[in-house]
């Protein structure tokens, strides 16, 4: 079962990817994890990626694809995987399709978690983070016991810059420009499946499980 997760920032694709990985005993693969693992192990690909990251530059598509393709050859990914946060662009998607074909395999599904922009802005705007221990809350879904204070250490909770409406709007604009075209790409390949991401987390997973046939 080889899956790509799609959806705008804050849609919950990372959360669902982890649940899928656990339920179906396949690895949850994100580019961030791949970068960290390769850098920690000092691989050639990791050293190349670190050069760009240390400069604050984006890692080139070609290198990202090489890192992902290498990860997909690991033993734990033999029976499947769920990719989270990759591909982000059409060139990356095309390179992934080519790499899988060279490996003698192909994707089974591209699952898009659909959430309107306004919902995302409201959802992320409700997030709060502890300034000391980093614990996270949500004013509606996971509120702290005492308003503005962390349950764990009692420190102040803040709205992070990444979660401010103006920042979220910019991230959504980038998503619609660069990443949303992937929906049409995978639709053209007959792999796209869409689920409603505005419902409860367990309902989202139930819809995904129905697609996966389990």
Catalytic residue among 48, 123, 127, 193: 127
* 160 is an active site residue: yes
Give the closest residue to 63 by CA, choosing from 39, 77, 46. Answer: 46
* 164 is an active site residue: no
Catalytic residue among 18, 50, 88, 149: 88
CB distance 14 to 29 below 8 Å: no
* 2 is an active site residue: no
Catalytic residue among 50, 149, 164, 171: 171
Catalytic residue among 36, 160, 169, 170: 160
Cis amide linkage into residue 87, ω under 30° from 0: yes
Catalytic residue among 13, 48, 128, 193: 13
* 128 is an active site residue: no
Question: Strand locations in 45-108, DSSP E?
Answer: 81-84
Give the closest residue to 199 by CA, choosing from 40, 12, 34. Answer: 12
* 127 is an active site residue: yes
Give the closest residue to 85 by CA, choosing from 169, 28, 39. Answer: 28
Kindly list the catalytic residues: 13, 88, 127, 160, 171
């Amino acid at each position: 079962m080889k899956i790509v997760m799609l959806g705008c920032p804050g849609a919950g694709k990372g959360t669902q990817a982890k649940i899928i990985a656990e339920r179906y005993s396949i690895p949850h693969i994100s580019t961030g994890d791949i970068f960290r693992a390769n850098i920690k192990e000092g691989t050639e690909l990791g050293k190349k990626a670190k050069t760009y990251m240390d400069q604050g530059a984006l890692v080139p598509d070609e290198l990202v694809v090489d890192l992902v393709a290498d990860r997909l050859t690991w033993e734990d990914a033999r029976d499947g995987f769920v990719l989270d946060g990759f591909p982000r662009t059409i060139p990356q998607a095309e390179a992934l399709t080519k790499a899988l074909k060279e490996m003698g395999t192909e994707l089974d599904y591209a699952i898009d978690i659909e959430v309107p922009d306004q919902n995302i802005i409201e959802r992320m705007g409700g997030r709060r983070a502890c300034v000391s221990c980093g614990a996270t809350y949500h004013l509606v879904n996971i509120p702290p016991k005492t308003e503005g204070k962390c349950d764990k250490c009692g420190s102040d909770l803040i709205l992070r810059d990444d979660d401010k409406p103006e920042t979220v709007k910019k991230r959504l604009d980038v998503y619609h420009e660069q990443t949303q075209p992937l929906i049409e790409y995978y639709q053209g390949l007959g792999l796209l499946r869409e689920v409603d991401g505005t419902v409860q987390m367990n309902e989202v997973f139930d819809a995904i499980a129905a697609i996966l046939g389990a």
